[in-house]
Structure 1
Amino acid sequence: MTAAVDTRVVRRRLGPGRRIRLAFWVGPVLLLAVWALGSAFGVISPAILTAPWDVLTAFRDQWVEHDLLGNVLASLARAGLGLAFGALAGTVLAVVSGLSRWGESLIDGPIQIKRSVPTLALIPLFIAWFGIGQEMKVVTIALISMIPIYVNTHNGLRGIDGRYAELAETLAIGRGEFVRHVVLPGALPGFLLGLRFAVTSSLLGLVVVEQYNATSGVGHMMTLAEQYGQTDVLVVGLVIYGVFGFLADATVRLTERKVLTWRRTLDG
């Protein structure tokens, strides 16, 4: 009992936001330190992994002599469009399926079938349908992002306490108000959890689709670097992808802390 009380006191003093921020940065900083020390002392061979300072030099060369900024913006546009379409589709389908038995009968089964089929395996089919341009890439990322959004939002809707519905009937609250003030806020934690998975999934899809006939983007830069044996530029691309994911996940976490303050209040 004493240990449990002490844990609550420590958490209250530290504050949930501060504790998350510290934990979130420790891992990346430690990873960078291990990489730098291993390269400095020869533990990590340059043939295996380029040293951090050489990666910085390659980054500067790509920024000054090549269109690194244009490639980064092109990749962000693809990932952002795909993630936006996937989040919208996943949310709408989850709401329809979660609030209607007919909707669940029509939607949930096909979605579960799709979960068992890797989206990346469908790329040849998407190429036949949409060509090898931007549309195929955005559709692939959107479909990859849609699944975690749907699954977690749907679970959030199904996990809402039935007593809220009974209370709404007692107070004669309309269906629209009940959905707006009870159902959607109750599903928001599941949506944000799904969004975190969707961000990671969209970046995984981006890495793959940019290998297909891309004329711009970080993947295009890495493809050219592979052809010319520029391992330092390859690591630059990997670092950029990693930074994309790190910052995107941090943004979702920050949003989650801001919009779900009511949950911490209820938890005491």
Structure 2
Amino acid sequence: MSAVTTTTTAVAATAAGELPQVRRRRRLSPGRRLPAARLAGPLLLVALWAAASAAGRLDPGAIPAPWTVLRTGVHLWTDGTLPTDILTSLERAAYGFVIGLTAGVALALASGLSRAGEALIDGTVQLNRAIPTLGLIPLFILWLGIGETFKIAIIAIVVYIPLYLNTHAALSGIDSRYVELAEVQGLSRFAFIRQIVIPGALPGFFVGLRLAVTGSWLGLVVLEQINATSGLGYLMFQAQNYGQTHVILVGLLIYGIFGLVSDSVVRLIERRVLSWRRTLNS
């Protein structure tokens, strides 16, 4: 009888134009991706910098206005100084990054897929991680000389450590049920690596790759101030000697742009390669 009464009440409410209230599901996801969202923060920071400079809130000798830095950058570019230094810095970073990338992935695979490899490699890498990489500079200068070789070697170490750590963690986190399934299916070692290991390790690999890209620029800015005759770090070091704050800010902004662009490229590749994943980011 109660069910008939409830149904009759709902029909009457509908006939009167009153729809029954439906409880809406609360959305907990971040929502749709905003276009060029990652540029909002840097642009806001530049806008605040420009507003503070125009209002006279900043000392021009300590923090020059954005338009002063822009004019300095244009002048350095037109006289040929900036293009040469940028190419030199990119070359150093590229050599060190490729070496570190190769070493990090190879060591992570050897350690993550073999107990013997883990026993020989993981402890050594953890020890290397505990030692400040930039603290190795004096030793590497004695070993490799004061030229370009030690700079590339330090960048390679800065790159390989986060790559190894994140890739190895991703390999160790692969569900054992997938391994058992591969054994039941009789997959070969190569097929197991291609179908199970690589897809399972890719998310961690890309996290390590983003950290490695950023780390290569952080290491480069320090290394280029040690017995260098060109490069953005050398340009900034020379500007420090002459008190040219605007030139230092040009170098810092270029490093920041390099870091932002390289991180965005890695993110784009990650979304394409891992398009099969359904995550909050996608």
TM-score, length basis structure 2: 0.88
In the alignment, is residue 180 of structure 1 matched against residue 201 of structure 2? Answer: no
CA RMSD after TM alignment: 1.9
Q: Partner of 2:60 in structure 1?
A: 46
Distance 2:215 2:251 in 1: 17
Say if 1:213 and 1:264 are closer, same or farther in 2 by CA, change over 3 A: same
Q: Partner of 2:203 in structure 1?
A: 189
Amino acid at match of 1:129: W
In the alignment, is residue 222 of structure 1 matched against residue 236 of structure 2? Answer: yes
Distance 1:96 1:135 in 2: 26
Say if 1:69 and 1:105 are closer, same or farther in 2 by CA, change over 3 A: same
Distance 2:267 2:37 in 1: 12
Q: Partner of 1:249 in structure 2?
A: 263
Distance 2:186 2:165 in 1: 31
Say if 1:198 and 1:4 are closer, same or farther in 2 by CA, change over 3 A: farther
In the alignment, is residue 164 of structure 1 matched against residue 178 of structure 2? Answer: yes
In the alignment, is residue 210 of structure 1 matched against residue 224 of structure 2? Answer: yes
Amino acid at match of 1:208: V
Say if 1:4 and 1:86 are closer, same or farther in 2 by CA, change over 3 A: farther
Distance 1:49 1:80 in 2: 31
Distance 1:167 1:174 in 2: 12
Distance 2:243 2:108 in 1: 46
Q: Partner of 2:15 in structure 1?
A: none
Query: 84, 97, 102: which is aligned to 1:70?
Result: 84
Alpha-carbon distance, 1:25 to partner: 1.5
Unaligned runs of 5+ in 1: none
Unaligned runs of 5+ in 2: 1-22
**SS in structure 2 of the partner of residue 47 of structure 1:** coil
Q: Partner of 1:151 in structure 2?
A: 165
Q: Partner of 1:6 in structure 2?
A: 27
Query: 231, 236, 251: which is aligned to 2:250?
Result: 236
Larger Rg: 2
In the alignment, is residue 105 of structure 1 matched against residue 119 of structure 2? Answer: yes
TM-score, length basis structure 1: 0.92
Q: Partner of 1:58 in structure 2?
A: 72
Q: Give the length in aligned residue pairs.
A: 260
Distance 2:130 2:187 in 1: 40
Distance 2:55 2:276 in 1: 50
Distance 1:87 1:36 in 2: 39
Distance 2:61 2:94 in 1: 34
**SS in structure 2 of the partner of residue 46 of structure 1:** coil
Alpha-carbon distance, 1:194 to partner: 0.2
**SS in structure 1 of the partner of residue 156 of structure 2:** helix
Distance 2:50 2:238 in 1: 26
In the alignment, is residue 117 of structure 1 matched against residue 127 of structure 2? Answer: no
Q: String of CA shifts for 1:92-121, please: whole Å, max 9, x gaps.
A: 000000000000000000111111100100
Amino acid at match of 1:165: V
The percentage of aligned residue pairs carrying the same residue is 52
Distance 1:249 1:229 in 2: 31
Distance 1:151 1:6 in 2: 35
Query: 101, 109, 114: which is aligned to 1:95?
Result: 109
Amino acid at match of 1:46: P
Q: Partner of 2:277 in structure 1?
A: 263
Amino acid at match of 1:225: A
Say if 1:25 and 1:3 are closer, same or farther in 2 by CA, change over 3 A: farther
